[in-house]
Amino acid sequence: MTDPLDPADWQQRRTSFGAVAADYAALRPGYPPGAVAFLLGGWPRRVLDLGAGTGLLTGVLLAAGHEVVAVDPSPQMLDQLHARHPGVPVHVGGAEAVPLPDRSVDAVVAGQAAHWFDPEPAAAELRRVLRPGSVVGFVWNVRDERVPWVAALGAALAAEARGHEADQGVVARFARALPADVADAEFRVVQRVPPEQVVGGIGTRSYVATMTPRARAAFLGGLRDLLAGHPDTAARDLLELPYRTNAYRLTPR
């Protein structure tokens, strides 16, 4: 277990994404359709995409036939979502105070976001907005460090990331607070991108977005050097960056 962030650092990181919204939309990986099918089943639902960001998960939900309403604390991120999906209603707000009426959605999903929620107050809000028989779905893309060069990249990020990009026990806390039964599944997604886009995508991580300009440039420069020197990535124009997509379906009791 990595050291937890102190509350001020956590809040700074949590609210950092507006400054990198355009790069986030362009450089972050999407989600496999199978993960959405696992979370929501095969029939259309009215879904709250909570912490929707730039709409990477929203697009997969729409393609599966769901009606989506998007909530995110960052207006800049929602601007990117609106540009991608202009028909989706968007609201500025957070998991601890959801700006929707009681019993207004059939499901709540969060892609790459639930680790920024405060589980106990957020669970109360989810119970309020969900209709009977609803589900909650959390999904994270996590770099697959079973691939050697990705493991080297992860080692270079570890001290700054402090593990705050994934579950970190959030699913278990939500399961207790709702309460809910949990099912999980793993999927795969691969980004085929040039090395500079690998570095640029890492630049959208909260721990990089909150660095000073000088520290950010030095940190990202070190990652460029790593990719230029690693035997699996040196002199390659296109890299395959693999992710494990971890999906968790919570069924409130």
Domain spans in the chain, listed from the N-terminal domain onward: 7-152+162-191+243-252
- Structural fold of domain 7-152+162-191+243-252: Rossmann fold (3.40.50)
Please give the distance of CA 9 from its chain centroid, rounded to a whole number: 19
Whole-number pLDDT of residue 5: 58
Indicate the pLDDT class of residue 163, thresholds 50, 70 and 90.
Answer: low
Q: What is the pTM of this model?
A: 0.90
Determine what percent of the chain falls in helix, strand and coil, rounding each to the nearest 5: 45, 25, 30
- Contact (CB, 8 A) for 189 and 243: yes
Is 230's pLDDT higher than 70? yes
Whole-number pLDDT of residue 40: 98
Whole-number pLDDT of residue 20: 74
Q: What is the mean pLDDT of residues 184-208?
A: 94
Separation of alpha carbons 149 and 143, rounded Å: 11
Indicate the pLDDT class of residue 1, thresholds 50, 70 and 90.
Answer: very low
